[in-house]
Copies of this chain bind each other. A is one copy, B any other.
Amino acid sequence: MAGTTPQPTPPTSRTRSWWGWGWTDAHPDDAECAAMGALLPGTLDRPLPVPRVRDLAIAAPAAEPPGSLAHLVSTDPGDRAAHAMGKAYRDVVRALRGRPGRVPDLVARPTDDRGVADLLDWAGERQVAVVPFGGGSSVSGGVEYRGDAHRAVMSLDLTAMDRVLEVDTEGRAARIQAGTLGPSLEDQLRPHGLTLRHFPQSFEFSTLGGWLATRAGGHYATGRTHIDDFVQSLRVVTPAGTSSSWRLPASGAGPSPDRLFLGSEGALGVITEAWVRLQERPRHKASAAVAFPDFQDALRAVRALAQSDLSPANCRLLDSGEAALSGAAHDGASVLVLGFESADEPVAGRLERAVALARSHGGRDDGTAGGGGAQESPHGDAAVSAWRSAFLRMPYLRDGLARMGAIAETFETAATWDRVPGLIEEVRREVGEAAAKATGFPATVNCRLTHVYPDGAAPYFTVLAAGRPGDEVAVWDDLKAVASEVLHRHRATITHHHAVGRDHRPGYDRQRPDPFALALRAAKGALDPRGILNPGVLVD
């Protein structure tokens, strides 16, 4: 999912949902679910019940760790169920329908590298599949075992390794354990006046290690926003030994070791810690929204902004459907949400230049959320806060719609500017038609641009459809196949920041150059000779 700004750390008394997004107390109740469902003809009359672990048929664990590792391992059914899948729409539906993915036999929570290495050694000897698990927020089937070649499955939960170990304030960097969740990471950095400033939408429920393993994209639209750019060095425990790269601001010594592990999704090793680059906390912020009657004009405006020196922190273009859904505009206009941030100096001037550039491409500043003028405050403005709240609420609403038998899911890509307009149009049309055909009801396919580059953009799609209650997973998989076909036709990436996991494997296999597949398979063979690490991800 695509990012937002940080939330305060929630009280620890809250309970994570084993089957749905986030906190159980934030889930819409039955009445809210029914109200949402009423907006989509063809959904159920009443919500599916909240699934219960005790209704699942969870077998006894197929393997038992040795006594020396027993203290790191849980076989509690609730623990195991909560580690069976990520949090994609199709995961939520499978849980609601009582058919979750393969429930792991064991959940291990190592507290240091030694524990990780010992667990890998044991798993290698016993042919136990090891699925690394951070916050469990994967939306692409990244933390689920789907094979049958292993004797047992162990979910390797890193969240007991959750500390900021060292902070270098002079060089603005920190050594952080991979299992640190977003809010805890920022809480531990705050006393130093520093921030990682990496805020994916999953921020509350994802870890540094997960971000690194999936090449996560942060909230910010331009400049340094991908976690890749913040990596000084990585520590990775592999079955063939521990890889520890040097802390360097830059190096030209051969292919980057870190770049091989970034995006490796647990298939090459378990990332246990990283030195990451930090920033001073921004003191100046300004934001505005600009409406565009014509979406093509808006695309040209965004391209001009991305190719300028302005570097907006936020440059999120909502198409008319997305703008209407989020309340940003109700007159069929597209809306560009612009934001600037700096720790150094006021940013109102940059915002004014950006708004002027947007106007010169057909934007207008009447009646849009936040207005067209620049607002500068140390804490952002009300429109952005409202938008942020709605944005963070979205995954919860998705689960509420899933309980009504609806289809409600997102996917994302990136392509060069020449392909962006046709790609967006064809995804809207072809996925919309396929959804209508499959369900018999009109479907909604909206688009926003979450990240923009001088040479292209990352379109992010939301699909809302009535579903075909009982067949939601099959219908969704068909729609995703239609979408993937459009992406492939335009040579647009199968994922910009949601990772490959298992759900995107077919598209990934078509996108990845064959010689690179050979190299990656060879690298995997060298580092994971017994094939225990996250089997089915990236390579077979």
Contact = CB atoms under 8 A, between A and B. Distances in A.
Contact of A255 (B240, B263, B303, B417): B263
A508 B256 CA distance: 12
B508 A518 contact: no
Given A254-B520, A455-B173, A414 B268 contact: no
Interface in A151-184: 168, 170-173
A522 interface: yes
B243 A514 contact: yes
A415 interface: yes
B277 A497 contact: no
Contact of A309 (B247, B277, B345, B494): B345
Interface string A374-394: 000000000000000000000
A513 B259 CA distance: 13
A241 interface: yes
A310 B268 CA distance: 39
Interface string A476-497: 0000000000000001111111
Given A252-B215, A493-B251, A513 B416 contact: no
Given A173-B416, A232-B416, A253 B493 contact: yes
Contacts of A59: none
B451 A253 contact: no
A198 interface: no
A264 to B, nearest CB: 5
A255 B249 contact: no
Contact of A526 (B279, B417, B522): B522
Interface residues of A, number: 94
A248 interface: yes
B516 A232 contact: no
Interface string A355-389: 00000000000000000000000000000000000
Contacts of A454: 171-172, 249, 277, 279
A516 B215 CA distance: 19
Interface stretch (A28-36, A435-443, A498-506): A498-506
29 contacts: A168-B418, A171-B454, A171-B455, A173-B416, A173-B455, A217-B252, A232-B455, A236-B515, A240-B515, A241-B518, A247-B491, A248-B414, A248-B492, A249-B414, A249-B416, A250-B456, A251-B414, A252-B493, A252-B495, A252-B496, A252-B498, A254-B500, A260-B516, A309-B343, A345-B353, A518-B523, A519-B522, A519-B523, A520-B523
Interface of A: 168, 170-173, 214-217, 226, 232, 236, 238, 240-257, 259-265, 268-269, 277, 279-280, 303, 307-310, 342-345, 353, 414-418, 451, 453-458, 491-500, 504, 507-508, 511-516, 518-523, 525-527, 538
